[in-house]
Amino acid sequence: MLDTNELGLVYDNNKLSISRPRVMIITDNKGNRIKEYVVSLMEKNAEDTYKRSIIKTVDADTYKINLAEFLL
């Protein structure tokens, strides 16, 4: 889960900053499934702060996420 309340899956590691990978966003901030898209957690806003950060890991079953859907 990200600090924006979006859910995402780690898509690609970032060798320069392990805590800032590329993430595939799969739900919006209200928990609605969306057409997934990939973002970099290195992105910053105009205030030079990160746009998104990981705040915790979640159990896919709790959120009814079928990981196989995204791995193919």
Could you state, in order of their start, the residue ranges of all structural domains in the chain?
Answer: 7-71
Assessment of whether the complete model's pTM goes beyond 0.85: yes
Contact 20, 3 (CB under 8 A): no
Per-residue pLDDT at 72:
65
- Of residues 52 and 67, more confidence is placed in 52
Contact 51, 43 (CB under 8 A): yes
- Of residues 71 and 8, more confidence is placed in 8
| Tokens, residue 2 | 């990200």
48: left (phi over 0), alpha (psi -120 to 50) or beta: left
Of 9, 2, 5, 61, the residue nearest 37 (C-alpha)? 9
pLDDT in tens, 22-52: 999 999 999 999 999 999 999 999 999 999 9
